Chains A and B, each alone.
Chain A
Amino acid sequence: MTKLDIINRVVEKAGLPKPQAEEAVESIIEKIKETLSKGENVVLRRFGSFSVRGKNTRIGRNPKTGEEAEISARSVVRFKSGKYFKDAVNK
């Protein structure tokens, strides 16, 4: 499933014209990205939560060459699925 499938679904189910559904889906995604890049978490009941976590510098290895390389400190996005989501995929 891609963004387009989700847009089509919004068109069908919410009866929104396609350009408006497109705008809605795009801005939902953009808002989540913006919020995360400010370091703020996004909590969506039932679905799950996105959070930003800091990672320290560590020594990694290039899996191809076996060479050691320093991996710089960075922030990563973590998703924790909600109970409803977890239960749904196990049905």
Chain B
Amino acid sequence: MTKSELAEQVSTKINLPKKETEHIVSMVFESIIGALSHGDKVELRGFGSFRIRHRALREGRNPKTGEKVKVPPKKVPFFRAGKELKEMVNNKAGSQKTAGSSQHP
């Protein structure tokens, strides 16, 4: 499913023109990107959470030349599925309850 297919399905559900819905879909995901870029995390109950993971500096090799290169430390966006989503993809759907807050470290 692509963004425009998602917008199409949502648009019929909420009775809003597709164009406008597409705009809202983009806005939702841009705001998640914005939050993580500011070092914030995003928690969407029932769906999951997005946070930043830090990757340390490491030594890599140029696969072509075999030369050693330093790979600088970086941050990567990380998604962790929530309990309900985990259950849904395993077809144990229907259980809407969330047993307390999920087990994030």
User: Which of A's residues lie within 8 Å of B, judged by CB?
Assistant: 1-3, 5-6, 9-10, 13-14, 16, 20-21, 23-25, 27-29, 31-33, 35-37, 39-48, 50, 52, 74-77, 79, 81, 84-86, 88-91
> B interface, how many residues as a size bin?
35 or more
Contact of A28 among B6, B76, B86, B93 (CB under 8 A): B6
Contact (Cβ within 8 A) B24 A29: no
Count of chain A to chain B residue pairs whose CB atoms are closer than 8 Å in the complex? 138
Contact (Cβ within 8 A) B76 A27: no
**Minimum C-beta distance from A86 to chain B (A):** 6
Complex-state Cα separation, A47 to B40, whole angstroms: 16
When A36-B89, A77-B48, A86-B76 are in contact, do A16 and B33 touch as well, CB less than 8 Å? no
Contact (Cβ within 8 A) B24 A10: yes
Contact (Cβ within 8 A) A16 B24: yes
Contact (Cβ within 8 A) B27 A14: yes
Which chain A residue shows the least CB distance to B23? A14
Contact (Cβ within 8 A) B89 A52: yes
Complex-state Cα separation, A37 to B9, whole angstroms: 16
Q: Which residues of A contact B24 (CB under 8 A)?
A: 10, 14, 16, 21, 24-25, 28
Contact (Cβ within 8 A) A76 B35: no
Complex-state Cα separation, A23 to B10, whole angstroms: 9
Contact (Cβ within 8 A) A75 B89: yes
Complex-state Cα separation, A86 to B79, whole angstroms: 13
15 A–B contact pairs at CB < 8 A?
A1-B42, A2-B42, A2-B45, A10-B24, A24-B24, A25-B28, A27-B13, A29-B47, A31-B1, A33-B88, A36-B85, A42-B6, A52-B89, A88-B33, A89-B36
